[in-house]
Amino acid sequence: MFSREARAELLAEADPDALIALADQCLADGAPVRVLTAPEVGCVAAQVIDPVAAERFLLGDVLACRAEVELAGHRGWAMRLGDDRAAVLAAAVLDAEVQAGRAGAAAVDELCRRTQQARAAEDDREWAELAPTVVEFEELT
């Protein structure tokens, strides 16, 4: 089981087609759903932390889309980079599915696990590409 913050982060990175398919599956039982905030596209400030000085600084503005829904009396919220309104709405539905403790919660966790594994595999690929460029210095005694 993922924390809500971790789930939101992973749903923001998940494959859009997988998000939409799973949200459709979760809504197939006819549970009442209400869109509280229709998908909105806007800019948000991206911040990073300098790894040496441990200070935050603004990297720039990025395009993002957010949405909020209510499913079976529970609220779900999502934000994704870009302007894919359908994907962000699906992610909000999936967040609400878990918040409500409905039957699809396990499938949402599985999607998050797959996304987490894909992220780790991509990180491994990036590090493998960088490995030949690492410079190792001999220690002088």
Q: Over the stretch 40-66, which tens digit does the pLDDT of each residue have?
A: 999 999 898 988 888 998 989 999 999
- pLDDT, tens only, 97-130: 999 999 999 999 999 999 999 999 999 999 899 8
The single residue listed with the structure tokens 């539905």 is: 93
Show the tokens assigned to 99. Answer: 């918040």
pLDDT (tens digit per residue) in 67-100? 999 999 999 999 999 999 999 999 999 999 999 9
- Strands (E) in 50-85, as ranges, are 56-71, 74-81
Residue 75 has a CB neighbour count (10 Å cut-off) of: 15
Residue 115's pLDDT is 97
In this prediction the pTM is: 0.85
Max CA distance (Å), the chain: 73
